[in-house]
Chains A and B, each alone.
Chain A
Amino acid sequence: MEPSEHGPDRDDAQHHEPSPTLYPLGFAVGIAVILVGLVIDPLVIGSIGFVIALVFAFLWIRDATRLHREERVAVEAERREAAAKGVPVKGERFPRSRFLESMTVGLGAVIGGIVTVPVAGFALLPSFLGQGRHKVDLGPLSEFPEGQWIVATFMTDPAAGEVSRRTAFIRNNGQLGNVPSFTIISNRCAHLGCPVQPNGPIGKTSFEPTANGRVRLIQATPAGFGCPCHGGQYDTEGNRTAGPPVRALDRYSFEIDNGRLVLLSAFSVSHVDGTGAQAKIHKYKLAGPGQHVDGGEQWFYPIQPPHH
């Protein structure tokens, strides 16, 4: 560059030339370490990367804003204020035009607010309020022989129709003390919500008329469950055995009403120790697919939206 020849243009060019700095590189290295850490060891290497990125981000921001912070004492502001006020009319402390301006803007804002608030509320709130879940009647207990896996397909809301059709894998574990025990696993994959399938032969299909319309019951002999979308694999307790899911399959709570099996709300499970009636289920509030419920990553999802 020969800036001296450029005359009046020189200042312009210099103002917009970013000062060379290595901090962005350090920041990028930090991010790279985080990404590597996520694969290898999120807690140790990930934290190291986070610290590196944080330090260099701080240095970078400090470096980038140095000019602004130092040259804050410009006289510009004072001159501008004087110019904006214009020539003060004698005897007029608060000009009429200023009053009309602020009234126009102020009233406009009030009218806009009155219109916007209820409309925005209508856009947002119905997704979160009044999310009732319906109980689902799956038929008499005699349809669920002890030790037999049943793939039950049912509508959670018959009024909504086919779009509310869901599937659960059900096994009668017999009695635990005096209380009937059931393993009821949701087929919603804990990766991204695709429908998990039983890995194994299926047997005879029957249809059971219930209060929730026709429930389809298919006998199955699964060695585990597998997801067709991205290959997540689970054992028969719903524990993840392979693939991308972040936790075990969700489960349903249930009740026995007049000798009929009734599904209640669903809950999330990090993992299950043991099997069948003796299983120890590590139970959490229902979370969306792909969301961790335990470990360090659970802090990414501190507040779940209202659930049924």
Chain B
Amino acid sequence: MAATRKQPTKAQIRRRNLEVALEYPLDWLDERSGLVGGVKYFLFRKVPADTNWMQTLGSATLTAFIVQAVTGVILAMYYRPTPQSAYPSIVNITDHLTLGWLVRGMHKWGASVFIILMFLHMGRVFLFGAYKYPRELNWIVGVLLLATGMAEGFTGYLLPWDQTAYWASVVGINLNGTAPFLGPWLAQFLRSGQEISGDTLSRFYSLHMLVLPGAIAGLIALHLYLVIRLGVTSPPWSPEAAGRERPEEPSDLRQGLTQPAAHGTGGQS
């Protein structure tokens, strides 16, 4: 519409007014917070041209965590963490409450999915060499996420308070107790005393739904921050050097940097 300046038709004016009205809330928000720009920066990043489906495993893990968080919050509305009523409340959720069986099933099976996806994601990062400089710190954060995720599995396993839950936790806590030097102290802390009791149940519940998810959420934020800051790696077979932005028009100098394969070296610089 650049060539000749025509008077806009009524339909065009109506359309423009509608757009302004629709975008007004977003504009209002962005003017005061800059959040729209932030979200765009977060979502519309440049990634290497030849990213792979394997590189969606991290997002899949995040999705699994969100499912666990949401279903967990809802289960907490019906679950009672006391020795007398923990198991009956689980039975109530599973057998009597509408759709309780589904949400509990999602939480139970989703826990395994979360752990499995963490390992697959970790394997992808390892095999792609994506843990190398400058991303070592993100590998370390990922390992902490794996550890807290497994601790979630351990603490969650006691909550149904049936025979499997009880004896698996006895064995798990005593395994911690065999660690040298501080092991016996760690075991007694986890158990909240000499023997498993009602205190152990509420302790595990608190760890499971407050401490560990908080830690995981914080670590995920750090993990994502580093992903955004450092960028996504190219697959190892990529002709592009890992972690470098693809130039729009490669100059002679940039070509030397971004296509080392032509010089007979690998993808890593």
Using a CB–CB cutoff of 8 Å, the interface residues on chain A facing chain B are 1-2, 5-7, 9, 13, 16, 124, 126-128, 131, 133, 156, 160-164, 192-195, 229, 287-291, 300-302, 304-305, 307-308
Contacts and interface: CB of A to CB of B under 8 A. Distances in A.
Interface string B185-196: 101110111111
B269 interface: yes
A161 B198 CA distance: 9
Contacts of B177: 288-291
Nearest to A291: B178
B253 A304 contact: no
B44 interface: no
Given A9-B269, A161-B83, A307-B194, A300 B180 contact: yes
B114 to A, nearest CB: 26
A156 B263 CA distance: 76
A274 B180 CA distance: 32
A121 to B, nearest CB: 13
A299 B114 CA distance: 38
B4 interface: no
Nearest to A302: B181
Interface string B233-269: 0000000000000000000010011000001010001
The residue in A1, A133, A193, A195 that gathers the most chain B C-beta atoms within 10 A of its C-beta is A193
Nearest to A307: B194
B197 to A, nearest CB: 5
Interface of B is mostly: helix
A192 B174 contact: yes
A290 to B, nearest CB: 4
B180 A126 contact: no
A163 B83 contact: yes
B162 to A, nearest CB: 13
Contacts of A1: 265
B42 interface: no
A290 B175 CA distance: 7
A16 B133 contact: yes
Given A193-B171, A289-B174, A164 B195 contact: yes
A107 B69 CA distance: 36
Nearest to B195: A164
Contacts of A156: 195
B23 to A, nearest CB: 42
Contacts of A9: 257, 269
Given A127-B189, A288-B187, A291-B177, A229 B167 contact: yes
A131 B193 contact: yes
Contacts of B185: 128, 305
B183 interface: yes
Interface string B206-220: 000000000000000
B153 interface: no
Closest 8 CB pairs of A and B: A290-B178, A300-B180, A288-B177, A193-B174, A192-B174, A192-B171, A289-B174, A305-B188
Given A7-B253, A288-B184, A194 B83 contact: no
B170 interface: yes
11 contacts: A2-B265, A5-B263, A6-B257, A16-B133, A127-B188, A127-B191, A192-B175, A288-B183, A289-B177, A290-B174, A301-B180
A16 B198 CA distance: 53
B7 interface: no
Contacts of B171: 192-194, 229
Contacts of B173: 193
Contact of A160 (B189, B192, B197): B197
Given A5-B263, A161-B84, A131 B183 contact: no
B194 A308 contact: yes
Nearest to A305: B188
Contacts of B181: 300-302
Contacts of A194: 167, 170-171
